[in-house]
Structure 1
Amino acid sequence: MLDPAILMVCIATLAIVTLASAAPKWRHPERFRSSLAAFALLPSFAVSPLVRLLPLLETLAAIALLFPAARAPGAGLLIALFSVFALALAINVARGHTDIDCGCAGFLTAAAHTPRIGWWHVVRAALLIALAAATLVSPADRALVWFDYVSAGACTLVAVAAWFTLDVLLANLPKLDSLRNS
């Protein structure tokens, strides 16, 4: 059992983060296509259909989280998607193929440095899996009061801000490495 206010935070945070992750894939399909191809895990004929399918699945799953009747399938789909993402990241990091823009920062990496993935990206995907799993936990049986909604809103804002801060830190790791090596 999970406190219903905490469950609201998990659901809202996951929905916002997932929709924010899907948005650049919709806006920049050519960059997402390049990113998928760079992972070198798919046959070339599978890349183009996935460029539209993956953001569609992410969007539908994030929206499904907001409706109690559709929450379990939506969370299950997100767990599956994030697991595939984590596996793809882990395979490429393990084989040393790290010069990939995973799109975590919305394909906004500057041309001045090469985007890279690392084990922190795998940890990030694992955190998303855990957050999606938390949305499947049944809420404790207690009535929500006005302060629960205020608390859930504030906690969601903090969680989303922390998440996007993590994205910025991961996007800037190559710059930090170049500073250390200069």
Structure 2
Amino acid sequence: MDPLILYLVAAALAVILLTGALDKLRHFSVFEGAVLAYRLIPASISKVFAGAFVTAELAAALLLLLPHWRTEGAWLALGVLGVATAGVVVNLGRGHTDVACGCGNLKQQSAGLSWWLVGRNAVLLLALSVLFLPRTAFIERSFGWVDGLTFFGAALALLGLYFAANQLIESHIKLQKLKEI
């Protein structure tokens, strides 16, 4: 496999995690409210959990950008995505869908939870699995300027697809709720 894929996945996931963490920090009280609304932990520790979650998300993003720490960042990202996805799955199983996801863009009213969010996170986890492949899975080669252009173009394309998918998921959930009225 081309090693450029490794760098591309790490960078795209780092940007996704970083933007999510920064939004949670900017709107921390809203994120803490989302954590409470999930009803998975006692209210007395929700602020501590919310702080630890954002810290882990931020650390994962930063570690993914450092080649010598990428594996640790991948494990941390796996934990963050796993906990977030598990919270969504538990609440969907309870039929508790009118909960703000808490994923990002917290300043806007969330449409709620859906299985599409679980699917989105499954795709992120699948992409994350590339970072756990042994070094021998990637061919040895040097990078040139064309690789730089490819990297930035592909990274922007992946991030555009991710944010477009988020908008589609949000719109779909809102449309489904309108149909129920």
Q: Which structure 2 segments of 5+ residues have no match?
A: none
Shift of 1:177: 1.9
8 Å CA contact 2:27–2:107 kept in 1: the answer is no
For residues 131 and 178 of structure 2, the distance between their equivalents in structure 1, rounded to whole angstroms, comes to: 40
Q: Which residue of 2 aligns with 1:131?
A: 127
Q: Which moved more, 1:122-131 or 1:61-70?
A: 122-131
Alignment pair present for 1:100 and 2:96: no
Structure 1 letter corresponding to 2:147: D
CA drift of 1:126 comes to 1.6
Q: What displacement does 1:132 show?
A: 1.9
Q: How many residues of Structure 1 are paired with residues of Structure 2 in the alignment?
A: 178
| Greater mean deviation of Cα atoms: 2-11 or 27-36 | 2-11
CA distance in 2 between counterparts of 1:25 and 1:105 reads: 7
Moved more, 172-181 or 148-157: 172-181
Deviation of the 1:179 alpha carbon = 4.7
> In the superposition, relative to structure 1, how do residues 86 and 178 fare at CA in structure 2: closer, same or farther (>3 Å)?
closer
- In the alignment, is residue 32 of structure 1 matched against residue 17 of structure 2? no
Distance 1:61 1:178, change over 3 A: closer
For normalisation by structure 1, the TM-score amounts to: 0.91
Over 3 Å counting, the alpha-carbon distance change for 1:178 and 1:87 in structure 2 is closer
Partner of 2:145: 146
Aligned to 2:176: 177
- Name the TM-score, length of structure 2 as normaliser: 0.91
Give 1:12's aligned residue: 11
Is 2:59–2:73's contact at 8 Å kept on the other side of the alignment?
yes
1:21 aligns with 2:10: no
Cα shift at 1:181: 4.9
Q: Return the offset for 1:88.
A: 0.9
Q: Normalized per residue, which structure has more helix?
A: 2
User: 1:103 deviation in Å?
Assistant: 2.4
AA matched with 2:113: I
Pair 1:40–1:80, CA change in 2 (3 A): same
Note the 1:158-169 alignment, pairs <5 A.
158-169=157-168
Match of 2:58 in 1: 59
Question: Which structure ranks higher in relative contact order (CA pairs < 8 Å, sequence separation ≥ 6)?
Answer: 1
Structure 1 range deviating more: 169-178 or 139-148: 169-178
| Structure 1 gap segments, 5+ residues each | none
Root mean square deviation, CA, Å = 1.6
